[in-house]
């Protein structure tokens, strides 16, 4: 676990998105770039995240506009940050609807398990963002059926998600 205080940065090249800066020393303490984390801001509920390289030797955790509003953040304030290693299987919570689809479709589950962790998280993320439970079920079936149509080892997330 790593605790520190920091002001948020503004990522101009990402449409002004906010981020939490992470020093190289802090990155070493939490396990490096490949480590999935749970981030807590001012002891509020945590959210899954990853550390990204900034390109100038520094690192950051991206904060979406949704999180910026949810946590009532401000660029001028200093925040208490707590980073914990995410020990979950996928690095983020699995939606019940997707989990049920994978239970009912052994081929789909096998194909899902063969995906890289990042591709798995994309499918999990897009499923979990849907507000309607019925629509989450429909989309979970769509994503897994689209996954089964892709060539093994060459799966493309935009096609799985029906974005292309």
Which pTM value belongs to this model? Answer: 0.72
DSSP state of 88: S
Using pLDDT thresholds of 50, 70 and 90, give the confidence band for residue 91: confident
Q: Which residue has the higher pLDDT, 124 or 15?
A: 124
Using pLDDT thresholds of 50, 70 and 90, give the confidence band for residue 146: very high
In whole angstroms, what is the distance from residue 61 CA to residue 21 CA? Answer: 7
| Residue-wise pLDDT tens digits, 11-47 | 776 666 789 999 888 888 888 777 789 999 998 888 9
Measured CA to CA in angstroms, residue 148 lies from 62, 117, 122, 136, 144 at distances of: 32, 17, 16, 18, 6
In whole angstroms, what is the distance from residue 55 CA to residue 19 CA? Answer: 14
Q: Say what the alpha-carbon torsion angle 144, 146, 151, 152 is, to the nearest 10 degrees.
A: -10
């Amino acid at each position: 676990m790593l605790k520190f205080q920091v002001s948020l940065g503004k990522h101009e090249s990402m449409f002004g998105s906010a981020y939490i800066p992470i020093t190289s020393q802090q990155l070493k303490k939490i396990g490096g770039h490949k480590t999935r984390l749970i981030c807590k801001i001012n002891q509020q509920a945590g959210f899954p995240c990853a550390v990204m390289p900034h390109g100038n030797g520094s690192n950051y955790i991206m904060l979406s506009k949704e999180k910026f509003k949810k946590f009532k953040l401000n660029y001028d304030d200093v925040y208490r940050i707590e980073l914990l290693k995410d020990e979950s299987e996928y690095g983020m919570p699995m939606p019940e609807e997707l989990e049920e689809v994978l239970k009912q479709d052994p081929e789909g589950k096998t194909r899902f398990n063969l995906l890289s962790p990042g591709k798995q998280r994309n499918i999990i993320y897009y499923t979990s963002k849907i507000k309607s439970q019925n629509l989450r079920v429909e989309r979970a079936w769509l994503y897994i059926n689209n996954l089964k149509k892709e060539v093994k080892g060459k799966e493309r997330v935009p096609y799985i998600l029906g974005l292309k």
